Amino acid sequence: MVDVFSDAKRSEIMSRVRSRGNKATELRLIEILRANRIVGWRRSSAIFGRPDFVFAKARVAIFVDGCFWHGCREHRSIPKANEEFWRKKIAGNRVRDRRVNKALSEAGWYVLRIWQHELSNPAAVVRRVHVALAGVAPK
């Protein structure tokens, strides 16, 4: 379908669209954590990288990464419209993720990244969280 707006007008319109975060994926992880009585986590922490969930005592930071925005190898897809922009954007997100992982690890945190598609297997997610919280996760 042909866009009815010029590139400049479409850019202006899209620049006004504000992110709502990855609310659906975060809510799904909350359901999983609560169903499995995993407690002690907090959201909206001011820790570097802004983890989605933080277990401060265990020093575990959890990020729930959307398959599209973080370039999941199983589910990545690049829109055909403005393809170069999207490639750069997703590549930049992946670079930032690695930088955050490194900084948090060096500060003594264990970083757990859960892909959006992994939330469909709650048992596997719970295992990974338990391993991280038990302190047996590789640092």
For residues 58 and 54, give the distance between their C-alpha atoms in angstroms, rounded to a whole number.
Answer: 9
**Which pTM was predicted?**
0.79
CA nearest to 22, candidates 79, 95, 72, 57: 72
**What does the pLDDT look like over 9-28, one tens digit per residue?**
887 877 777 655 567 888 89
For residues 23 and 29, give the distance between their C-alpha atoms in angstroms, rounded to a whole number.
Answer: 10
For residues 57 and 51, give the distance between their C-alpha atoms in angstroms, rounded to a whole number.
Answer: 15
Q: What ranges do the domains of the chain cover?
A: 20-134
Angle (CA) 62 65 70, round 5°: 135
For residues 136 and 29, give the distance between their C-alpha atoms in angstroms, rounded to a whole number.
Answer: 21
Fold of the domain built from segment(s) 20-134: Endonuclease; Chain A (3.40.960)
**What does the pLDDT look like over 75-117, one tens digit per residue?**
777 878 888 888 898 899 999 999 999 999 999 999 999 999 9
